Structure 1
C-alpha cells in the first residue's frame, strides 16, 4: 500500500485509522514491525497526531496483536488434528515458541517482542500451553511497552534524519542482540564462579 494513501487515511480518520493500520501492519505489512513504530513516532511530530495519544494507540494495536495470537493459539490447541498438520505456518510458529518456552519458560515472553518472528511465535505458543491470559499479558505486554518506547522515541526524535529505515532497524536489532548476548554471557560467568566457590 502506498505511503501517501496511508497518510491520507490518517488525515481523514485520525487515531482510528492509525490503530487499524498498525494492527493490520503488525501481521501483514512487508516491513519490519519496528518501522511501523518509528513511523508512529515520526507522525507524532507533525500536525496530524499528538505524541501521547499516538503512543497509546500504538500500544493498543500491539495489545490487540498479542491477544489475537494468544486466542488463536488457545483455539487451535483444542483441535486434536493440529499436530498432524505439520506443514502449516501456525504449526511451525508453535514449534518455535514451544522450544523457547521449554528453554526459558515465561521469560520467553519478556524478551519475545524484541526479535522478529519470535514476537509472533511466543504469544501463539503461550496460548496453546494453558498459561492464563492474565499472566501472559502481565509479562508479554510489559516487554512490548519497553519495545514500543524505544522505537517510538527513535522515530519521534530522529525519524526525519533516517534515510533507510530498514537498514537502520536491522543494524539496531543486531546491536540489541549483541548487548543481550554480552549481558547473558556475564550472568553465566557469574553463576559459574559462584558454583566453583561453593564447591571449594
Structure 2
C-alpha cells in the first residue's frame, strides 16, 4: 500500500477518516488488513502520525468492524450465509471457520483475528448463532487488541521491509497464533489456579468453623 495514501487520508480527513477507513475498509477495500495496519505503523515510525493515537484509532476501527460483522450476523445471518455458501471462495472459508469454532468454541473468536478470511466470518457466524454480546466482546476485542498491536508494531519497527514480511506472511501468522494461544493458555491457567486456591481457602475456613462448633 502507498504510504502517501495513508498520510493523505489523515491530512484530508483527520484520524476520524482513518477510523472510518478501517471500519468500512474491511468490507469494501480489497487490501489485506495486515498491509493497511503495517502501513499505519510505518507512517507512525516516520513521525507522520502520532504513534499512540494512530494505534488507538486503528484498534477502535477494527473492533468496530468486527462488531458490525457480528451484528449483521444476528440480523441477516441466515440469508447472508446462504448467499456466501454458493460461492466457492467463501464456502471453503466458512467450512474452515466452522471447524475452528467446533474445536475452540468462543476462543475461536480470539484466534480468528490472526487468520485472514476467518476474522471476517467467525464474528458473522457467532452473530448468527446468537452468542451473547458479552462473550463476543471478551474474546473478539482481546484478540483484536493483540492482533492490531502485533501488526502495528511490525510495521512500526520493520515497515521498510514489508515485501519480505508479506512473503512469509503465512508462516508469520502461524507463529503469532501459537504465541497468542500459549499466552491465553497461561492466563487461563493462572486464573483457574487463583480460583481453585480461593475455593480451597473458603473450604478450609468452613471446615475450621465447623470443627470449632463441634468442640463447643
TM-score in same-fold range (> 0.5)? yes
Post-superposition Cα deviations, 1:123-158, rounded to whole Å, max 9, x if no partner, equal 001101111112101111101111111111111112
How many angstroms apart in 2 are the aligned matches of 1:115 and 1:148?
A: 13
How many angstroms apart in 1 are the aligned matches of 2:156 and 2:75?
A: 38
Task: Please tell me whether residue 50 in structure 1 is matched to residue 53 in structure 2.
Answer: no
Contact 1:93 1:124 survives alignment (8 Å): no
Partner of 1:152 in structure 2?
152
Partner of 2:34 in structure 1?
34
TM-score using structure 2 length: 0.70
Contact 1:19 1:60 survives alignment (8 Å): yes
Task: Please tell me whether residue 87 in structure 1 is matched to residue 89 in structure 2.
Answer: no
Task: Please tell me whether residue 166 in structure 1 is matched to residue 166 in structure 2.
Answer: yes
How many angstroms apart in 1 are the aligned matches of 2:71 and 2:121?
A: 13
Q: What root-mean-square deviation, in Å, do the aligned CA atoms of Structure 1 and Structure 2 show? A: 3.0
Cα pair distance change 1:122/1:171, threshold 3 Å: same
Task: Please tell me whether residue 127 in structure 1 is matched to residue 112 in structure 2.
Answer: no
Stretch deviating more after TM superposition (91-100 or 132-141): 91-100
Partner of 2:24 in structure 1?
24
Task: Please tell me whether residue 11 in structure 1 is matched to residue 11 in structure 2.
Answer: yes
Contact 2:113 2:144 survives alignment (8 Å): yes
TM-score using structure 1 length: 0.75
**Greater Rg, structure 1 or structure 2?**
2
Cα pair distance change 1:98/1:20, threshold 3 Å: same
Q: Which runs of 5+ in 2 are unaligned?
A: 183-216
* Runs of 4+, deviation exceeding 4 Å: 81-86, 88-96, 177-181
Q: How many equivalent residue pairs?
A: 181
